[in-house]
Structure 1
Amino acid sequence: MEACKTVSTCTPEVNQGTHVFDILGYSKHRGMGNDADSCIRSGIFTVGGYDWTIRFYPDGYDERYKDYIAVYLELLSKSTKVRASCDLRLVDQCTGFSSSVHKTGPRVFSSDDSTKFAPQTCDFKRRSEIEDSTYLRDDRLTIECILTVIKKAHVTETKPFPKIDMPPSDMAEHVGRLLEEKEGFDVSFSVGGETVEAHRFVLAMRSPVFKAELYEPMREARIMGQCITIEDMQPAVFRALLHFIYTDSLPGKHLEGDKDTEMLRLLLVAADRYAMERLKLVCQSILCEDLNVDTMATTLALADQHSCDKLKNACLKFIEMSDAMDAVVATQGFKDVKVTCPSLLVDALEMRRKFRRA
């Protein structure tokens, strides 16, 4: 089953506002004292549907911080909780640019306790650092508050993730055209009196045996410009072998009936000869599907001769499960195996005996 990938997006709903609190006649506000009520409040401003104000303590919040000014953002809306962040800044009177003095990250402001204030400290800025700087000019001090109110997150509906289908591999198709178009051949074979041409690099890429025969230095010098003779192989089998080498598949149209089975057997022998394990397994798979009373003995002998353990085990399993052992014994293939590979029959009969006992 193809994996399904979907996506949804979470986006916080935010409202941001900036309030500028201009304090004119800065020096004239000194001497108010440093208790909790000795402050100047800005005008009320609204951000995110909530009311806020800025508190300015020119003489500090208490006696311990008398050398500092204190600045606080305060939530004024009653009986509420608000998730917000703020950046309290001082404006340079020469440049008009502001710089941050205190930042409060996103947190809950509650109107019912001390969390309605930010920051939670009293040492906002040392007074000497203000009075000896360009933050104060013409007896004017400007506080800027950038306030961000964060509301409930908005989650989108689930949608399919964008997808571009991956095309199937077409490498075998392109390599196969090299054989079809008959261009660039650089090696020739004589097979059963017929001449078959191919590309050395393709054969070497697919078969370690071809690689050794075509690119080993001493042999390479001898074969250049010559036709290599392939003994003990039919032209049709060699062409089927080349088709698999170039396309990684068997020829499109198989022969029919017994001829088809015989071709697969011969192709398995060729695959074993040229160490092409994938082709060897493909042939074994098809021959396994074709196991019957008439083919079993011959296929068993073939599997044993060419170290096809999976196919050999399949044949023995077929004998173990078959109710037509007499019919198998009567076949010519069984008689041939009895002469050429008697040890195979011992294995088969032993497995049959164990099956009967079970």
Structure 2
Amino acid sequence: MGSCLSAAGDGEQASASSVSGTHQFTIRGYSATKGIGVGKSILSWYFTVDGRTLFVRYYPDGYNFQSSGFIAFYVQTLYKPVCRPVRARFTFELLRPDGSVAYALRSDRPCNFDTHCNSWGIRAFVARNDLEGAYLGVLHQDAIKVRCTVEVVNSQRKRRGGGRQATVASASDYAANAIRFFISGTAPFDVKFSVGGVTFEAHALVVAAQSEWFAAALYGHGGGERWVEAGLPCIPISGTTPEAFQGVLHYVYHDALPEELIKAKGEAVMMPQLFEAADMFLVGRMKAMCASRLRQFINDDTVRSIMELAQAHSCEELQQACQKHLGRPRP
């Protein structure tokens, strides 16, 4: 069985508004960790941030069956906080043998570690095929180096040299507030799109901020007539489906894939459409997320079609995943 071994050099840094700590550990015998079962985890050694004892859970076979194609990392407090809840962000990084960062994801907001929940993490941290591939280069001698950074944003530590408690500024919630405001409907929509006979309403500034395609189409490049100025009653969009366009708008407003739509229509059906739409509207992060999900569907029956999709939309990572599958030894 593989193991998580903590490395020396764990550290903690304090500021007036937060306290952060970094814990690095090595998963040795990676190949032996696979197959322990979905939802089963391996624990790192304990470490301390802002007086709280924490550890990392590593799920080699996935956190649940829906995310079984990905490894997961969770950070957990040793004991559920009894008095003050802990609000903390966390980052997980995969390191190359030379110590450089090959891949990293950060929590999208501070999470409450309290009596209701003392464990938070990232279910779909990285696809297992990517982790094992040469592109990232993190699997070395059947071992993986992982670094976890936890930032407590509501620390009540006192500054050194003074007896007064530091005033803590809360983490920025600008993005969450903006999303909440726009989806509330308080601000009237100012642009309409017609896709396959279906009309969608949106805010021009919002879609332009998330998509270079919309930015250029709606506001131009400094010259000529622009859609916003033309005052068109409804802008026609071709080359995509209403469902895929709905998915793009969902991502634009929520910064996440439309999981309910994917579940309703079927992931195998919707993911290629969302991937193509993300590429069409130049939403890079959404395209990368879709590509990662598409890798789960690569098998002997689908590899050719997924390869063609990756080539048509210039997705090198997805092409490499298909090539890796095609290059596997056959019985």
TM-score w.r.t. the length of structure 1 is 0.42
Structure ID, larger Rg: 1
Q: Higher helix proportion, which one?
A: 1
TM-score w.r.t. the length of structure 2 is 0.46
